[in-house]
C-alpha cells in the first residue's frame, strides 16, 4: 500500500503521469487490499462464536468497514495530497487491524 502511495506521490505535479499513478493505487486497493479484507470478514464471522474474541471480532469488522469507506473515497480523488492522506489513513488502520488479527487468532487458537 505505501509503495503504491509513494509512487503516486512521486507523480504529484505531473499531470501526464499522476492520473495513471492514482489509478494504480486504486487498482492495488481493489485487487489486493479489498479481497484481503473480504477474506478477513469471512473468518471473523466464525471468530464471533468464540466468547473470548467476540468483542475483538466486532471491533475488527468495524475496522474493515472504515477501511473500505476510506478506500472508496480514495477512488474518487484527483489530487496527490488528498490521495496520500487517505493512503496514510488506510495504512494506520491496517497496522491496528494486523495487530488485532494476531491477537484474535491467538485467542481463537487457545479457546
Numbers of helices and strands, H then E, in the chain: 5, 0
Mapping DSSP onto H, E and C, the string for the chain reads CHHHHHHHHHCCCCCCCHHHHHHHHHHHHHHHHHHHHHHHHHHHHHHCCCHHHHHHHHHHHHHHHHHHHHHHHHCCCCCHHHHHHHHHHHHHHHHHHHHHHHHHHHHHHHC
pLDDT digits (tens, 9 = 90+) for 62-97: 999 999 999 999 999 999 999 999 999 999 999 999
pLDDT tens digits, one per residue of 97-106: 999 988 888 8
Look up the pTM and report it: 0.85
Q: What is the per-residue pLDDT for 111?
A: 60
Amino acid at each position: 500500500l505505501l509503495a503504491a502511495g509513494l509512487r503516486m506521490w512521486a507523480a504529484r505535479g505531473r499531470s501526464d503521469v499522476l492520473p495513471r499513478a492514482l489509478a494504480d493505487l486504486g487498482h492495488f486497493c481493489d485487487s489486493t487490499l479489498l479481497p484481503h479484507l473480504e477474506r478477513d470478514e469471512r473468518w471473523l464471522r466464525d471468530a464471533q462464536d468464540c466468547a473470548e474474541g467476540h468483542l475483538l471480532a466486532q471491533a475488527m469488522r468495524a475496522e474493515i468497514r472504515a477501511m473500505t469507506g476510506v478506500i472508496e473515497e480514495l477512488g474518487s480523488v484527483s489530487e496527490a495530497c488528498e490521495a496520500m492522506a487517505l493512503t496514510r489513513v488506510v495504512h494506520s488502520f491496517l497496522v491496528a487491524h494486523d495487530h488485532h488479527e494476531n491477537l484474535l487468532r491467538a485467542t481463537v487458537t487457545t479457546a
